[in-house]
Every structure is written in structure tokens, then in C-alpha cells.
């Protein structure tokens, strides 16, 4: 998701001033990284140029803080397209970790130890997220949950792979 798309969605909910957009973005999308004003201005300028937002009637003078922005038909279509398109499932971890397992088996090292070390790393991250979750509001909790469910899925794959290591070793060496 880009900042521009998030702005369009925020503007589809209602027209907003530049300052209000930044606040709303930071609250709903920005969790770890609040926007700089520079990013707000350049994003709005680009959206204006591409005809995805308009500035309300007589408020065209003054800085972006003062101007009120409204999403256009084309902007709404962009939001629709963004929401319709599923995210590419991320496979980076699996492929990197799988490569390490194969690397360990090929070189006669302990693939189980590779998996154990990864399990520790994952569990440490999951404990930290669980702690954070306990202190956060609902939005924080759900974002932590998303990460937790993903790490959990990685771990399940890892346990599953651990069971098949002997078999895999035979194939790799054979």
C-alpha cells in the first residue's frame, strides 16, 4: 500500500484538510512511522496532478494545511482496485530458511540446529509482540496479531520440516 492510496481511502470516507489527513494517516496506517509534512505535500500534489483528488472551491490559496481535498471518481476507482487485488503471499522467509536447511544438509551440518535457532528467534519475536499487544489498544492488538499469526505459520512449517529432515537428507545427499 502506498501513502497515496491510503490518502484516497481517507478522502473517500470524507473530504479533509491536509493536516487532518496526516493525523488520520498516522492513526490508522502509520503505526511505526508517522508521516513528514513533506510527504503529505508531495503526495497531495501528485494526486492533484493525476486527477485523483480536487481542492474545494474557493480555498485554492494558502498551504495544503488550509486546503480541503475531495476524492474524484478516478480516485475512488483506485481505492476499489487496491482493495480488490489480494496481496502477494510473502514467501521470502520460507525460501531463505529452506535454502539454509538444504545448505546444512549438503554440508553435513545440523539442519535441526538451524531450525532450532530459527524457532528461538521466532519465539522471541512472538513474546515481544505478545507483550506489546497487552499494552496496546485494539488497533495495536490486531496489527500484532497479524504478525503473530504469520510467525506462527512459519513455525508450523518449521516443525513440519523438522519431522522430515532425515528423509530430506537422504534425497539431498542421494
* Nearest approach, Cβ of residue 91 and other proteins (Å): 20
Q: Which CB sits closer to other proteins, 73 or 167?
A: 167
* Nearest approach, Cβ of residue 136 and other proteins (Å): 13
> What is the spatial distance between Cα 151 and Cα 148, in angstroms, rounded to a whole number?
5
Residue 167 near residue 160 (C-beta atoms within 8 A) = no
Label residue 133 exposed, middle or buried (CB < 10 Å: 0-12, 13-18, 19+).
middle
Q: Which CB sits closer to other proteins, 66 or 156?
A: 156
* Nearest approach, Cβ of residue 15 and other proteins (Å): 36
* Nearest approach, Cβ of residue 170 and other proteins (Å): 20
Residue 67 near residue 59 (C-beta atoms within 8 A) = yes
Using only C-alpha atoms, the chain has a radius of gyration, in whole angstroms, of 23
Residue carrying the nine cell digits 554440508:
107
Residue 134, C-alpha cell as written in the block? 497487552
Residues in the chain: 174
* Nearest approach, Cβ of residue 32 and other proteins (Å): 20
Q: Which of residues 107-136 bind other proteins (CB under 8 A)?
A: 109-110, 112-114, 116-117, 119-120, 122-123, 126-127, 129-130, 134
Pattern 144-163, other proteins, x by CB under 8 A: ----xx-xx--xx--x---x
Q: Which CB sits closer to other proteins, 50 or 130?
A: 130
Q: How many residues bind other proteins (CB under 8 A)?
A: 25
> What is the spatial distance between Cα 150 and Cα 141, in angstroms, rounded to a whole number?
14
Label residue 173 exposed, middle or buried (CB < 10 Å: 0-12, 13-18, 19+).
exposed
- Binding residues for other proteins (CB under 8 A): 104, 109-110, 112-114, 116-117, 119-120, 122-123, 126-127, 129-130, 134, 148-149, 151-152, 155-156, 159, 163
Amino acid at each position: 500500500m502506498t501513502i497515496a492510496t491510503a490518502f484516497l481511502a481517507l478522502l473517500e470516507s470524507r473530504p479533509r484538510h491536509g493536516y487532518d489527513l496526516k493525523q488520520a494517516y498516522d492513526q490508522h496506517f502509520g503505526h511505526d512511522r508517522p508521516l513528514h509534512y513533506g510527504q503529505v505535500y508531495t503526495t497531495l500534489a501528485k494526486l492533484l496532478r493525476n486527477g485523483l483528488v480536487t481542492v474545494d472551491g474557493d480555498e485554492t490559496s494558502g498551504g495544503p494545511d488550509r486546503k480541503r481535498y475531495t476524492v474524484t471518481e478516478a480516485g475512488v476507482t483506485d481505492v476499489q482496485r487496491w482493495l480488490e487485488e489480494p496481496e502477494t503471499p510473502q514467501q521470502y522467509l520460507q525460501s531463505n530458511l529452506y535454502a539454509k536447511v538444504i545448505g546444512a544438509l549438503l554440508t553435513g551440518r545440523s539442519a535441526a540446529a538451524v531450525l532450532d535457532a530459527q524457532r528461538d528467534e521466532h519465539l522471541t519475536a512472538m513474546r515481544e509482540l505478545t507483550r506489546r499487544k497487552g499494552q496496546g489498544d485494539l488497533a495495536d492488538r490486531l496489527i500484532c496479531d497479524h504478525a503473530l499469526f504469520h510467525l506462527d505459520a512459519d513455525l508450523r512449517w518449521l516443525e513440519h520440516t523438522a519431522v522430515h529432515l532425515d528423509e530430506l537428507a537422504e534425497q539431498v545427499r542421494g
